Structure 1
Amino acid sequence: MTTTRRTILSLAGATPLALAIGNPAGADPGHLTVPDGLRPGGKLDTFVADLAAKDEFSGSLLLTHRGRPVLSRSYGMANKALGIPNGPDTIFALASVTKVLTAVSVVQLVERGKLSFGAKLGTLLDGFAPAIGESVTVHHLLTHTSGLGDFHRAPGFWETARTWTSAQQVMDGITQIIRGMPVAFPAGSSHTYSNAGFHLLGAIVAKVSGLSYYDYVRQNVFQPAGMSRSDFYTKPQWLTDRRIAHPYTRPESGERIDDIGNRYFMGTPAGEAFCSCSDLDRFAQALLRGKLMSPPFLQIYAGGKVPLPRTTPPPGAPPLPEPPPVTLQCYGPLGRVRGGQWIFGHGGGSPGISTSFEVYPDSRWTLVVFSNYDPPATLPIEEMARQLITGQR
Structure 2
Amino acid sequence: MDSDSARGIGRRQLVKWGGLAAAGVPLAKAVPPATRPVDAYDRYIAQLAADGKFSGVVLLSHRGRTVLSRSYGLADRERGIRNHEGISFSLSSAGKPFGPLAVLQLAQQGRLQLSDPVGKHLTGFAKEVAEQVTIHHLIAGASGLDTPDEDVQRVFRSRSEVHEYYEQRARQAKLVGIPGLPSTTHEEAGVTIPALIVEAVTGQSYWDYVEENVFRRAGMTGTAFYTRPQWLADKRIAHPYMTLADGSIVDAVRNLDQSSSDPWVLGKNPARCFIASPGDGGFATAPDLVRFARALTDGTLLERPWADVLMGAKFPHGPASFGAYGLAVEIVGGQWIWERAGANPGVGANWSIYPDTGWVGVILSNTDGAPLQDMIGQETLAVTGVAPGQGSGG
Please classify the TM superposition score into its range, dividing by the shorter chain length: 0.7 to 0.9
In 2, the alpha carbon distance for the partners of 1:149 and 1:79 equals 37
Once superposed, what is the RMSD of the aligned Cα atoms? 1.7
Letter in 2 for 1:222: F
Residue 68 of structure 2 aligns to a residue in which SS? strand
Residue 134 of structure 1 aligns to a residue in which SS? helix
In 2, the alpha carbon distance for the partners of 1:183 and 1:34 equals 52
Letter in 1 for 2:347: I
Aligned residues: 338
The residue aligned with 1:35 is 35
The residue aligned with 1:170 is 162
Q: Does 1:109 align with 2:71?
A: no
Letter in 2 for 1:190: P
Give the C-alpha shift of residue 338 in structure 1.
0.6
The residue aligned with 2:193 is 200
* Structure number with higher helix proportion: 1
Give the C-alpha shift of residue 150 in structure 1.
5.5
Give the C-alpha shift of residue 274 in structure 1.
0.7
Residue 104 of structure 1 aligns to a residue in which SS? helix
CA gap 1:180/1:376 in 2 versus in 1, 3 angstroms: farther
Which residue among 101, 105, 126 is the counterpart of 1:129? 126
CA gap 1:190/1:103 in 2 versus in 1, 3 angstroms: closer
The residue aligned with 1:248 is 241
Give the C-alpha shift of residue 34 in structure 1.
4.6
Deviates more, 1:130-139 or 1:248-257: 248-257
In 2, the alpha carbon distance for the partners of 1:391 and 1:136 equals 41
The residue aligned with 1:365 is 359
Cα contact 1:347–1:355 (8 A) shared by 2 = yes
Give the C-alpha shift of residue 378 in structure 1.
2.7
Cα contact 2:54–2:369 (8 A) shared by 1 = no
Give the C-alpha shift of residue 219 in structure 1.
1.1
Cα-to-partner distance string for 1:254-285 (whole Å, 9 max, x where unaligned): 22111122322111234320110011111111
Give the C-alpha shift of residue 176 in structure 1.
0.6
Residue 87 of structure 2 aligns to a residue in which SS? coil
The residue aligned with 2:386 is 392
Q: Please identify runs of 4+ aligned residues in structure 1 that moved more than 3 A.
A: none
Q: Does 1:355 align with 2:362?
A: no
Cα contact 2:138–2:191 (8 A) shared by 1 = yes
Letter in 2 for 1:111: Q
Cα-to-partner distance string for 1:230-261 (whole Å, 9 max, x where unaligned): 11110111111111100111123222111122
Map 1:188-267 → 2, pairs under 5 A: 188-191=180-183, 192-260=185-253, 261=256, 262=269, 263-267=272-276
Cα-to-partner distance string for 1:288-307 (whole Å, 9 max, x where unaligned): 11100111111111110011
Q: Does 1:336 align with 2:336?
A: no
Cα-to-partner distance string for 1:132-176 (whole Å, 9 max, x where unaligned): 11111111111111123456x24xx345x42x4332332232111
In 1, the alpha carbon distance for the partners of 2:146 and 2:45 equals 34
Give the C-alpha shift of residue 375 in structure 1.
6.4
- Taking structure 1 as the reference length, what is the TM-score of the superposition? 0.82
The residue aligned with 1:89 is 86
Cα contact 2:128–2:175 (8 A) shared by 1 = no
The residue aligned with 1:277 is 286
Cα contact 1:334–1:346 (8 A) shared by 2 = yes
Letter in 1 for 2:110: G
CA gap 1:181/1:375 in 2 versus in 1, 3 angstroms: farther
Residue 298 of structure 1 aligns to a residue in which SS? helix
In 2, the alpha carbon distance for the partners of 1:104 and 1:345 equals 14
Identity of matched residues, %: 37
In 2, the alpha carbon distance for the partners of 1:249 and 1:376 equals 11
CA gap 1:214/1:270 in 2 versus in 1, 3 angstroms: closer
Letter in 2 for 1:357: W
In 2, the alpha carbon distance for the partners of 1:382 and 1:63 equals 12
The residue aligned with 1:268 is 277
The residue aligned with 1:180 is 172
Cα-to-partner distance string for 1:16-47 (whole Å, 9 max, x where unaligned): xxxxxxxxxxxxxxxxx953221xxx100000
Give the C-alpha shift of residue 84 in structure 1.
1.0
Residue 269 of structure 1 aligns to a residue in which SS? coil
